[in-house]
Amino acid sequence: MSSSGDGTANGPYPLHGSTSEPTTDTVGYRGPTACAAAGITYRQLDYWARTGLVEPSVRPARGSGSQRLYSLRDVVFLKIVKRFLDTGVALQNIRTAVRHLRGREARDLERMTLMSDGATVYECSSPDEVVDLLQGGQGIFGIAVGVVWRDVETALSQLHGERVDTGETLIGHNPADELARRRRDRAV
């Protein structure tokens, strides 16, 4: 949200008083912010970027001293990778899952549940698909991507973002505002 001109604001606002509202497409997050929101270490973030597991889609590193800039979507993928690793899924299977997720639209991700038996990762987009997997009789865990997305939005709303076009720092930018507006528009 933008400042009212008298130094007050109705919620999070840009540090430099920008006149246009930032959206999820115009805001990026530096490495430390992405780490904090995803619950990972900077060493993990750096390794995953260098190996191509989750690369920053807004601005990649360009030599020594350059700052990577991650999108909201990238941070969601980082958190999903972390959850898979914590449950023992092999990195090769995680790479396959992330490649698959990159090709999906945001509205598809919102409804998706990723299920794994520890060896294979499955995409479920309906309760029936989840039940079918559970009836297999072996231990399976799931990650509701929409829930992860909302968790990351909440975490990022408390942290600093950066406008992609101007480089200005945004204090407590809440990307959920834009998504909430899109959902309301679609529901009408």
The rounded distance, in Å, linking the Cα atoms of 88 and 95 is 14
pLDDT in tens, the chain (188 residues): 333 333 333 333 333 333 344 555 678 999 999 999 999 999 999 999 999 999 999 988 777 777 899 999 999 999 999 999 998 898 899 999 999 999 999 888 988 989 888 778 888 888 888 888 788 766 678 899 999 999 999 999 889 888 888 878 887 655 555 555 566 566 65
Sole residue written with tokens 């990026």:
28
* Average pLDDT score over the chain: 80
Tokens of residue 166, six digits: 């101007």
Q: Report which of 6, 33, 28, 29 is spatially closest to residue 17, judged by C-alpha positions.
A: 6
Rounded distance between C-alpha atoms, residue 102 and residue 74, angstroms: 9
Q: Supply the DSSP symbol for 44.
A: H
How far apart are the C-alpha atoms of 52 and 93, rounded to whole Å?
Answer: 14
- Alpha-carbon span 178 to 23, nearest angstrom: 6
d(CA 15, CA 33): 16
Quote the pLDDT of residue 188: 56
How much is the pLDDT for 151? 95
Residue written as token pair 């700052």 = 67
- Per residue in 74-90, pLDDT tens? 999 999 999 999 988 98
* Beta partners for residue 169, in sequence order: 162
